[in-house]
Amino acid sequence: MRGGVGFGVFSVGDDAPRVGFRVGEGILDLVAAGLGSVFESSSLNAFLALGRSSWEDTVARVDELVTVGTELVPLESATAHLPFEVADYVDFYSSLEHATNLGRLFRPDAEPLLPNWRHLPVGYHGRAGTVVVSGTQVVRPCGQVKSPQDAEPRFGPSTRLDIELELGFVVGVGSRLGEPVAASAFRDHVFGVLLVNDWSARDIQAWEYQPLGPFLGKSFATSIAAWVTPLVLLEDRFVASPPQDPEPLPYLSTAGDWAVDLDLEVELSGTVIARGNARSLYWTMSQQLAHATVNGSSIRTGDLFASGTISGVQPGSQGSLIELTWNGERPVQLADGSERTFLEDGDEVVLRGRAGDVELGEVRGAIVPARYEGNEPAR
């Protein structure tokens, strides 16, 4: 569908939020178009729960309405809201290049990849309640930081605030506790994809992360697009994923093409600083879901799973500043003549993605100063 972006929740003026489908710079109002009361909602969740045949029927109906030129709500006149109620949020670590780069930076004297990395999609449970919609300001986090030279940790605003360019997917149809979701059942459960910015305070993260993984260095905010692109719009963009060595265990083996050929870019305060493609991810979305449920953990409508930072091999294809600047040693240059290692107050980051005729919803976020007084959080 040319110009098709995805489903989201919007409002105009004082009208109640409702579900729409974004096409280019307009929104098809699914309530006004008579598609049903399931769209008279401030979240996509009820629609997501209907399942695959309803999703496909709705996309086909939307395509017809757009093709005949149904009037659209101008995007600039609408407010976009968080598109779905996020149930649980999991973040993976699925890019070989990113995991290798971070291993080198965080553990310079050891093998960059830990022994489990090529055997399973490493991940952690994030904080669903702090997932925010594109356009939400991000307050610079404060926390405990301790650089290797410091004898003791100190409290203060993060000075190494970073981004992570990620591709997420959202669950429509849940599963029952105790019953794993096979990789081959991915399309029966997953509604669509969206861009994710997993904001990361590297100084807080580096001090806190061992032995249980990311915590306050990540949980202050995660930004998602306002529009969720249904899988059915991306069917012709699924391509072969990179070869995996060693061959994964049988529950992680997947037939068919599971990588998404999706061009990505990161803009920082007006300058594009990175370009990559989601097809470079080592672990696929179907493997991520199969792994997350193989122990019998159930999934539910609104669960958000994100890929982990998407980094490529080429210079300038990395999805985080810590990689692009190699731990701050090589600043990136901005069009206004300034340079950046990590994010400064006032900086605005925009993530974009395009797959042929389909553009994913952007993820935009600006950094506002820390709430901090002396050695204490401002109350």
- Which residues belong to the active site? 98
78: left (phi over 0), alpha (psi -120 to 50) or beta: beta
Amino acid present at 238 = F
88 near Mn ion, judged by CB under 5 A: no
Query: Secondary structure of the chain: what % helix, strand, coil (to 5)?
Result: 20, 30, 50
Report the residue number, 7 or 305, with the smaller CB distance to Mn ion. 305
Picking from 337, 330, 332, the residue whose alpha carbon sits closest to that of residue 349 is: 332
Report the residue number, 91 or 208, with the smaller CB distance to Mn ion. 91
For residue 134, the Cα-to-chain-centroid distance in whole angstroms is: 11
Q: Are 96 and 112 in contact (CB under 8 A)?
A: no
Alpha carbons within 13 angstroms on the beta-carbon side of residue 253 total 6
Residue 293 in tokens: 């449920």
Report the residue number, 35 or 225, with the smaller CB distance to Mn ion. 225
Report the residue number, 123 or 180, with the smaller CB distance to Mn ion. 123
Only segment of 56-64, 131-139, 159-167, 274-282 that touches Mn ion (CB under 5 A): 159-167
Only segment of 66-74, 84-92, 152-160, 278-286 that touches Mn ion (CB under 5 A): 84-92
164 near Mn ion, judged by CB under 5 A: yes
* DSSP one-letter string for 222-286: EEE-S-BEEGGGGGGGEEPPPP-SSPPPGGG---S--EE--EEEEEETTEEEEEEEGGG-SS-HH
Report the residue number, 198 or 208, with the smaller CB distance to Mn ion. 198
Give the nearest distance from C-beta 198 to Mn ion in angstroms.
Answer: 3
Only segment of 46-54, 162-170, 312-320, 363-371 that touches Mn ion (CB under 5 A): 162-170
Segment 115 to 144, residues that bind Mn ion, using CB under 5 A: none
Total site size for Mn ion, rule CB under 5 A: 3
Only segment of 53-61, 86-94, 112-120, 222-230 that touches Mn ion (CB under 5 A): 86-94
Give the nearest distance from C-beta 202 to Mn ion in angstroms.
Answer: 12
Residue 93 in tokens: 């670590």
Give the nearest distance from C-beta 106 to Mn ion in angstroms.
Answer: 14
Only segment of 88-96, 125-133, 293-301, 334-342 that touches Mn ion (CB under 5 A): 88-96
Give the nearest distance from C-beta 349 to Mn ion in angstroms.
Answer: 14
Quick one: which of 91, 97, 162, 303 contacts Mn ion (CB under 5 A)? 91
162 near Mn ion, judged by CB under 5 A: no
Residue 316 in tokens: 């300038």
Quick one: which of 29, 88, 198, 359 contacts Mn ion (CB under 5 A)? 198
**Is the preceding omega at residue 153 within 30 degrees of 0, hence cis?**
no
Give the nearest distance from C-beta 319 to Mn ion in angstroms.
Answer: 9
Report the residue number, 82 or 99, with the smaller CB distance to Mn ion. 99
Residue 211 in tokens: 């032995």
Measured distance CA(60)–CA(57) in Å, rounded: 5
| Residue whose beta carbon is closest to Mn ion | 198
Q: Are 354 and 6 in contact (CB under 8 A)?
A: no
List interacting residues with Mn ion (CB under 5 A): 91, 164, 198
